[in-house]
Copies of this chain bind each other. A is one copy, B any other.
């Protein structure tokens, strides 16, 4: 019986044409992050399971991760997100690192899910974090980086919006403004987090069920409605708008607008599920009505590093998945057709390989990327291969060419050719690459 050629369910093989797209995307990300002074880090794809249990998501660990015992009976998990790992790295060198840290990574992550559009078992995720800045300048910078990341692919700000909220503001609303107890608060916040997944009457019915009879008499539902329907911070009740977390969020939005990030808007319903967020949260939404959904998001999570028994470090970051990001680029036609990295495809005429090695080597020394056919097939088949590989030029080397030191260079897309010396070939090819 022969072996299956299929990759494991929910994963992707990256053939060169797929890898080229991934590299294009990742390298653009890297360029943006480095302009802002961010440095790349990495961590193992396998982590001790306890790293994820600390966040209290035992159910998720049991059902949605790749967790197993190693041969030494230690429980290990294929990483499901990068934030626990990066917090571990910072905590391990808490004292010796030079803050603020600006760190990014593009790890592959694993989740045991039923594969569906936009959701795979193995995916990549860019992670960007700034550690050691308590002020909103850090939140502002992280959102600026997120914005620059999308813009760098040629997107316009009309194609996406950046929705913001403040978890501390939600706590203020819930505890101080509405007067809920901590159990009611938690239930309400989780409910709002799922608000967009249900119909309005269902949602408000569940909200009512949280309140006590006296709270219902005090019309808390109406008060909450007014808040959750607010399109801007000005529409909030005065008392709420005057609160410290609302002021902070207002200041942040103002700073972003000042910088031209005009698509930054307040969204009182934005919670972001993760329990570790403590303050500002944000999400970048695709504005395409066909595809109006969250692309990625982040926020401030000041408490996480302290779980490792060290003094906490202020932390703000965001993460974006490769599949969702690529879908956005494709649906807005922002992915260019990517040519082969190879410049020249050498086709040998007759038995000249040994003597062709030298000129080929010279081209490489001058920086030209050269693949040689080497199959000895008929010339038209070799040309077809070069075309199929999307390589711009074919170069013919035979007895005569070697004698004259002039080689026939054919631009395959135009089907035009001329005989040129090596140095001239280098110029022509490099000019083409620059276009």
Contact = CB atoms under 8 A, between A and B. Distances in A.
Interface in A46-95: 46-48, 50-51, 54, 63, 66, 68-72, 74, 76, 78, 88-89, 91-93
A372 B39 contact: no
Given A374-B133, A375-B132, A41 B15 contact: yes
Interface in A12-50: 12-16, 18-20, 22-23, 34-48, 50
Interface stretch (A134-142, A176-184, A220-228, A287-295): A134-142
Given A364-B35, A375-B133, A389-B98, A112 B44 contact: no
Interface in A253-273: 255, 258-259
A39 B19 contact: yes
B6 A92 contact: yes
Given A35-B364, A307-B2, A8 B44 contact: yes
A40 to B, nearest CB: 5
A146 interface: no
A376 interface: yes
Nearest to A69: B68
Contact of A48 (B8, B45, B309, B389): B8
A6 to B, nearest CB: 7
Interface in A282-326: 307-309
Contacts of A70: 66, 112
Given A34-B341, A141-B372, A46 B5 contact: no
A397 to B, nearest CB: 13
A35 B369 CA distance: 4
A51 B375 contact: no
A51 B6 CA distance: 10
Contact of A371 (B102, B135, B342): B102
A307 B5 CA distance: 10
A99 interface: yes
Contact of A39 (B11, B340, B367): B340
Contacts of A50: 3-4
Contacts of A2: 307-309
A389 to B, nearest CB: 5
| Among all A-B residue pairs, the 7 with the closest Cβ atoms | A37-B371, A2-B309, A5-B92, A16-B39, A11-B44, A68-B68, A14-B42
Interface of A: 2-9, 11-16, 18-20, 22-23, 34-48, 50-51, 54, 63, 66, 68-72, 74, 76, 78, 88-89, 91-93, 98-100, 102-103, 108, 110, 112, 122, 130, 132-133, 135, 137-138, 141, 255, 258-259, 307-309, 340-342, 345, 353-354, 357, 361, 364, 367-376, 384-385, 388-389, 391
24 contacts: A3-B88, A8-B46, A8-B48, A8-B76, A11-B44, A14-B42, A15-B93, A16-B40, A19-B41, A20-B40, A34-B341, A35-B367, A37-B370, A37-B391, A45-B78, A46-B78, A68-B69, A98-B384, A100-B375, A102-B371, A133-B374, A135-B374, A135-B376, A141-B374
